[in-house]
Amino acid sequence: MAIHTLQSRQVIKASLQQAWAFFSSPRNLSRITPPEMGFTILSELPESMFPGMMIEYKVTPLFGIPLTWLTEISHVKERELFVDEQRVGPYAIWHHEHHFRDLGDGRVEMHDRVTYVPPFGLLGELVHPFIIKPQLDRIFAHREKAVNELFG
């Protein structure tokens, strides 16, 4: 079992409060997820996230095959970080940290760190460089573009 890490940094033209309000709301996930992922939230969502909150999604990551993805918000430090961890879904392990740092001047740095283990053991490792990693890179590139468009 190999553990992989994906990191992404983006500077957003927004106040820390605006960035936090947007990214800490699961309702906004579909706005920054590629449409071909077929991302649909199935859970009832409260106004704000909290540790222990479970969110159920339906996604179609490959070949149009729908999958259930259940994540738990495991940590929340207001306007600083939150962590979502997969409980049921396509990965053997998925741990996603979202960090926010106020740069002043109406800008925020968002740093994501995803630690994951591909599904399907050795087969997942074999296809990781050709399918899984490129797909994750596309998802994060789409998100960066969408965030830039949303926050101008």
Residue-range definition of the domain harbouring residue 139? 4-151
Per-residue pLDDT of 131-146, as tens digits, reads 999 999 999 999 999 9
Percent of the chain, pLDDT > 70? 100
CATH number of the domain at 8, please: 3.30.530.20
For residue 34, which of 148, 135, 151 has the smallest C-alpha distance?
A: 135
94 secondary structure, DSSP code: E
Phi, psi torsion values for 117, nearest 5 degrees: -125, 125
pLDDT in tens, 14-30: 999 999 999 999 889 98
Mean of the pLDDT values across residues 34-49?
A: 89
C-alpha distance across the termini of the chain, in Å: 41
Predicted local confidence at residue 112, as pLDDT: 98
Contact assessment for residue 38 and residue 65, using Cβ atoms and an 8 Å cutoff = no
The model's pLDDT over 79-116, given as tens digits with 9 standing for 90+, comes to 999 999 999 998 999 999 999 999 999 999 999 999 99
CA distance 16 to 90: 32
Count of domains for the chain: 1
